Amino acid sequence: MYSVTLSATNGSDRTGYATLTIQVGTSLSNLSTTFGGSTTWVCPANVTAVQVEAWGAGGAGGGGVRGSTSKSAMGGGGAGGGYAKLNSFPVIPGNTYYINVGKGGVSGTSNLATVPGGDSWFNANNVPSTQILAKGGAGGQSIVNNNADTFGLGGVGTAVGSIGSLVYPGGSGATSTLNSFGGGGGGSAGTASAGNTPASTIDGLGALAVAGGGGGGNANASAGSSGDGQSPTGAPGGGGGGARAASTTQRYGGNGADGQVILTVQSVAKIPQTITFGLDPATAKVGDVARTLIASSSSGLSVTLASSASNVATITSGNTLNIVGVGTATITATQTGDGNYEAAMPVSVILTVSASSGTTFASWSGNATVTSDFVSRYAFGATDTTSATKGMTTSITATTLSLTAVVRADDPRLVITPKSASTLGTWSATDPVISVVNAADQTGLGTGLVRKVYSVERGIDSKRFLKLEAVYTP
């Protein structure tokens, strides 16, 4: 839950402020919103059902007027509003719904009427719902006395008229039995029980709230006074306290508390999503370098890539395509969805892998087993496993030792490294630096073969050796 303060300034430099509260969740499911006043509600995208909880408003406490005698008139306490819950109310995304929060009964009419609290409901039409409705509490009885102390009846709490999967009545208001106070107000119903009735009829105290409900208001402020009844201090739906009139001045009972409505998202239709994925090109050759594939979903959720043929291509590190061998492999992108999104329709692309532009070891050897002898022949110019390697020649001057050899240069799985040494025990590929250039004469060579010249400076060494190492990684 996050709160921010918004401000707006008019042309007269007058600024108003309001607090915006934002509730953030990983999913819409089970998010709740509380409404303390009547309003409209637009169903969010993908929400298909809500749970509705409603509290009716509290009834007003009864008022009183004393006649010509010295006796007092004590108004009855107002009843608390009822509670109703509908487990699932179907809703349509984008549609407008009406939330009616009952207003608390207001004691103050000139004829000392009994004033109930308003009903609370939720509906697709701006009329009382036939599926979910919490009745407001009954008002306490107002009274006019003449020849004796007179006591107005407290409003009676009831579940009659409430509609829902679960309903509870509000607590009844008290009928005072002592001329020092009016009757205390009844508490509203809670989420798991009926509301409370005041514990005593002689102390004017309102009912205590049950879990989820609101407490009732006290009667007139203090013993012996002629005060008006008190309104509830907590919401929702507590009944107002009754008044005590000890003079010909009319006294009013306390107002009932307003009701309340809570909406909780119960069912969410998942959002469809699509995958964007393709191979450009959808072909490759053995020996091609690994590719980084790009696959995305409209939801922003990560996409999984898989190859149908690991002997042709593999996927590593999530999105790296590795070419393994000749053939076809189906590369498939999937996204399984989550609490908000449906699983995406998989997207597949057929990858065709051909042999490299030169001769692969497999084709050169007829798929023979890799051996050091075959690797040596393959690396240094033999046309097949039975033919000889191309001849190597050496030349030496006072300053330079050179080796000319035919080597295979089109297979990235084959690495040929020149190394030199001044003693046969220590070979180096870098110290001193070995020069490698293509020979001027490239005649008589097969596909993928190149004649190269490897040269190293002799320096002051009395001896200098030069060799070629061939390493093939299947």
DSSP 309-321: -TTTEEEETTTEE
**Residue 394, C-beta contacts closer than 8 angstroms, at least 6 positions apart:** 401, 402, 403, 404, 466
The DSSP symbol for 166 reads E
Q: Residue 240 in contact with residue 103, Cβ under 8 Å?
A: no
pLDDT at site 160 = 96
Q: With a cut of 60, say whether residue 436 has pLDDT above it.
A: yes
**Residue at 283: amino acid letter:** T
> Which has the closest alpha carbon to 248: 431, 64, 122, 455?
64
- Most confident of the ranges 51-55, 60-64, 324-328: 51-55
The DSSP symbol for 442 reads -
Q: What would the two tokens of residue 457 be?
A: 């400076």
On the 0-12 / 13-18 / 19+ scale of CB atoms within 10 A, 470 is middle
**% of the chain at pLDDT higher than 70:** 92
The 3 state secondary structure assigned to 363-398 is HHHCCCCCCHHHHHHHHCCCCCCCCCCCCCEEEECC
> Which has the closest alpha carbon to 262: 190, 312, 331?
190
Q: pLDDT tens across 385-431, in order?
A: 788 888 899 999 888 999 999 999 888 889 999 999 988 878 999 98
Q: What per-residue string of b and e applies to 178-202 under the rule 16 or more CB within 10 Å gives b?
A: bbbbbbbbbbbbbeeebbbbbeebb
pLDDT at site 26 = 47
Task: Count CA within 13 A, CB hemisphere, residue 27.
Answer: 15
pLDDT at site 282 = 93
Confidence of residue 356 (pLDDT cuts 50, 70, 90): low
pLDDT at site 357 = 60
pLDDT at site 82 = 98
Q: What is the mean pLDDT of residues 119-124?
A: 98
pLDDT at site 440 = 92
pLDDT at site 224 = 56
Q: With a cut of 60, say whether residue 120 has pLDDT above it.
A: yes
pLDDT at site 28 = 60
Q: What would the two tokens of residue 118 be?
A: 């308003």
> Which has the closest alpha carbon to 53: 6, 115, 4, 101?
101
- Most confident of the ranges 51-55, 72-76, 217-221, 269-273: 51-55
All structural domains of the chain, each given as residue ranges with its CATH number in brackets, are 29-269 (no CATH), 275-354 (2.60.40.1080), 361-472 (2.60.40)
Q: What per-residue string of b and e applies to 458-469 under the rule 16 or more CB within 10 Å gives b?
A: beeeeebebebe
Q: pLDDT tens across 248-303, in order?
A: 888 999 999 999 999 999 888 888 999 999 999 999 887 678 999 999 999 999 99
**Residue at 379: amino acid letter:** A
pLDDT at site 145 = 84
**Kindly report the CA angle at 36 between 35 and 42, in degrees rounded to 5?**
30
Query: Which is higher by pLDDT, 363 or 54?
Result: 54
Q: What are phi and psi of 186, to 5 degrees?
A: -80, 150
> Which has the closest alpha carbon to 104: 308, 223, 255, 222?
255
Average pLDDT, the chain: 89
User: What is the Cα 457 distance to its own chain's centre?
Assistant: 68
pLDDT at site 21 = 54
pLDDT at site 195 = 97
Confidence of residue 1 (pLDDT cuts 50, 70, 90): very low
Dist CA 149 CA 154 (whole Å): 16
Q: What is the mean pLDDT of residues 49-64?
A: 96
Q: With a cut of 80, say whether residue 73 has pLDDT above it.
A: yes
pLDDT at site 110 = 63
